[in-house]
């Protein structure tokens, strides 16, 4: 793969973050998973990082000459808006109630 083609590889489709964005951030000193997430917003989209964070982790390991297992993970954060407990418990009613 040529250098210009590699730069256009999309790592995070939710936030449109490219591999070159990730590598530039690492070279600018954002050298942990948490810092990369904050700088590039990779992992903050709809998928919550399930799709892109393994790729970000691999790129970080490659750039720092470490094993991916050494990279750690990002912090898990609670939802910004309250979620009724019945949704986290798995209750599905098919009804919409704006008063919850």
- The pLDDT, as a whole number, for residue 97 is 56
Rg (CA), the chain: 17
> In terms of residues, how long is the chain?
100
What is the Cα–Cα distance from 28 to 56, expressed in whole angstroms?
A: 15
Q: pLDDT tens digits for 39-81?
A: 999 999 888 888 999 999 999 999 999 998 888 878 776 666 7
Average pLDDT over residues 84-95: 68
pLDDT digit string, tens, across residues 8-49: 899 999 999 999 999 999 999 999 999 999 999 999 988 888
Q: Express as a percent the part of the chain with pLDDT over 70.
A: 77
The neighbouring-strand residues paired with 49 are: none
Give the right CATH number for 3-88 from 3.90.1150.10, 1.10.10.1100, 3.30.1950.10, 3.40.30.10.
1.10.10.1100
């Amino acid at each position: 793969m040529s250098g210009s083609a590699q730069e256009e590889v999309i790592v995070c489709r939710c936030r449109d973050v490219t591999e070159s964005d990730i590598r530039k951030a690492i070279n600018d000193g954002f050298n942990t998973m948490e810092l990369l997430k904050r700088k590039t917003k990779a992992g903050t989209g709809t998928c919550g990082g399930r799709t892109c964070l393994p790729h970000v982790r691999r790129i970080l390991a490659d750039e720092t000459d470490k094993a991916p297992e050494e990279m750690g993970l990002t912090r898990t954060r609670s939802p910004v808006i309250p979620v009724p407990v019945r949704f986290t418990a798995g209750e599905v009613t098919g009804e919409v109630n704006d008063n919850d």
